[in-house]
Amino acid sequence: MGLLDGKVAIVTGAGRGLGREEVLALAKEGCKVLVNDLGAGFDGSGESKVADEVVNEVKGIGGEAIANYDSVTDFNKAKAMIDQAINEWGKLDILVNNAGILRDRMIFNMAEAEWDGVMAVHLKGTFNMTRHVAEYFRREGKADPKRKNFGRIINTASDAGVLGNMGQANYGAAKAGIAAFTLITSMELKKYATVNCIVPMARTRLTTDATPKFADTMKRIDASGFDIFHPSNVAPMIVFLASDKAGRINGEVFRIAGDKVWILRGWHSVNRIDNAGKPFTPQLLLERIKSELMKGIPKKEDIMSVSSQLVEKM
């Protein structure tokens, strides 16, 4: 018996890296999977038939899968993708929004197309897929009220969005938007589906080919031979969040890397100053912001400090 026997899933960006590992993990637990991948490079250019290769891998382990090469940036093709899964298997239970590209550039050099392209794949793509699957989950849930929060939506953010990373204003903004999108849609869909988000730290084309400064770190293997940043380490969290056992987990953001899982909480108040019922003046703020409001507040996390937690014992 698999944890996902009889379930049907769509995984976007599933031809390589994280998406491929997620598909294989879902299939091993009995899930039927629509494997979506444009077949493009990390910047969204070019094409290849990688989705078919993953489908063949799934069939090789006795699972069921079909390929789809449409772009998540197209609102109507996103709907067609969901219809394809339903037409093939009669239903849809799980959506994993994983598709992504990188077009890194410092903000003073970034072209409009580099901004728009990243936003289109990550943020609009996540919206497009979620919008259509949400309509389906709601329709199914209203038709049978006993099926409470049966659907599962799992989004993919990044530490570039929750912590920030230089040269990735487009990518980080899109990923921060996905985290916020997760929180809001989890409230709106709680009768019919759970919506959660992962922040993976793994070796993919986006963290090696597209971001060379992380390449050496991402190759790290500990003294026992454990491949810390292998993308397969992330996939079990997808399986868990997609399962019926995770029905009470909703609107959460998890970082996963190696042998560690964090739970993240976003913007929150860390300190406050008051002015006795009167509005502040610029002069008062000048006096009190640094001396009171910012005094003793926690130091901001950064990507490299989080990465170091994974390799600190090596």
105: left (phi over 0), alpha (psi -120 to 50) or beta: beta
Q: Across-strand partners of 66?
A: 34
Active site residue 136: no
Looking up tokens 């609107």 gives 251
User: Phi and psi (nearest 5°) for 266?
Assistant: -80, -145
Catalytic residue among 7, 171, 186, 243: 171
The active-site residue, picked from 158, 186, 243, 307, is: 158
Catalytic residue at 192?
no
Q: What's the gap between Cα 84 and its chain centre? A: 22
7, 32, 124, 175: the active-site residue: 175
Q: What are the C-alpha distances in Å from 219 to residues 179, 234, 245?
A: 27, 16, 33
Rounded-to-integer distance, Cα 14 and Cα 20, Å: 5
The candidate with the shortest Cα–Cα distance to 95, out of 129, 131, 67, 68, is: 129
Active site residue 45: no
SS3 content of the chain, % helix, strand, coil (to 5): 45, 15, 45
d(CA 237, CA 154): 10
| Residue showing tokens 């491949």 | 227
Q: CB pairs under 8 A, 24+ apart, for 283-288?
A: none
Q: Which residues are catalytic?
A: 158, 171, 175
